[in-house]
Amino acid sequence: MWRVSPAGDRALLITIGTVIDPALLGQVLALDRALQDKRPRGLLSTVPAYASLLCHYDASVTDAARLEESIRQLEGKVEHSIPSGTIVDIPTRYDGPDLPEVALKTNLTPAGVIEQHAGREYLVYCVGFAPGFTYCGALPAEIAVPRLASPRLRVPAGSIGIAGRQTGIYAVESPGGWNLIGRTTLRLFDPKDDPPARFKPGDRLRFIPIP
């Protein structure tokens, strides 16, 4: 059962699940596509993330109750599948400042951490927080470590971090609390590009170690 709740007086949040699961993301993306086809009156834009979809609406054209009704009509009817886009390789230099600390916390060598992180396939669950920031999962449990106790004020663009069962790429310089293990020179956000972000939820990627 979808949970539909007001997120302020101009948006509805549809919560499909509360855990990281490719099947839930598949449902979110299917709902997103269905809404783009259906175009309910007053719906302005949507924001997908993990297991939920935010729907911004024009309060001068529709209201929360009417929009919820037309979203509910799709419940149980959207075709969904586990996302399977082409896999994009991310050339990664594993020289992040937190790599030694992550190795210590996980009883691995730095090379062991890299071996766990690199090579495998990740699913993009969300682009959010800051412009282009790419949330991916699931990180192997062997290298799952908590966020830093005190976030850095500046994390350079291209930094690759890990936190819990997630790994992510900082697309622009921003503050951040993830453990930085590497970096890429691949540009993930450019306001001149259309779309401006390199990845979208449902894409797949792989980190490839480079010297």
Partner 1 sequence: MIELVAGGRWTTIQDRGRPGLERYGIPPGGAADWFAARVANELVGNQPDAALVECTSIGPTLRFDNEAIVAVTGGQVASIADWGAFRVARGSSLAVGAIAPGLRAYVAIRGGIDVRVVLGSRSFCQRGGFGGGFGRPLATGDRLPIGQLVAHEPVLAPWPPSHRLPLRGPWEVRVIAGPQAAAFASDALERLTATACRVTPEIDRMGLRLETPGLRLQSEEILTVPITTGAIQVTPSGGLIILHVDHQTTGGYPIIATVINADLPLVAQARPGDTVRFRFVHMQEATRAWRRMSGWLELDL
Query: What does the binding site for partner 1 look like in residue numbers (CB under 8 A)?
Result: 5-11, 13, 15, 17-20, 44-54, 56, 59-60, 63-64, 125-133, 135, 171-174, 189, 191, 195-197, 200
Q: Closest CB to partner 1 among 49 and 148?
A: 49
- The one-letter code for the residue type at 137 is G
Q: Nearest distance from residue 13's CB to partner 1, in Å?
A: 4
When the beta carbons of 63 and 95 are compared against partner 1, the nearer one is 63
Nearest residue (CB) to partner 1, 27 versus 46: 46
CB of 48 to partner 1, least distance (A): 6
Least distance from C-beta 120 to partner 1, angstroms?
A: 21
Do 130 and 97 contact (CB within 8 A), yes or no?
Answer: no
Instruction: CB nearer to partner 1: give 60 or 107.
Output: 60
Q: State the minimum distance, in angstroms, from the CB of residue 15 to partner 1.
A: 7
Contact between 106 and 113 (Cβ < 8 Å) = yes
Identify which of residues 131 and 209 has a Cβ nearer to partner 1 in the complex. 131
Peptide bond into 59 cis (omega under 30): no
Gap between the Cα atoms of 20 and 24, Å rounded: 8
- Compute the least distance from the CB of residue 9 to partner 1, in Å: 4
**Which is closer to partner 1, CB of 9 or CB of 107?**
9
| 108: nearest Cα among 98, 120, 100 | 100
Nearest distance in Å: CB 22, partner 1: 14
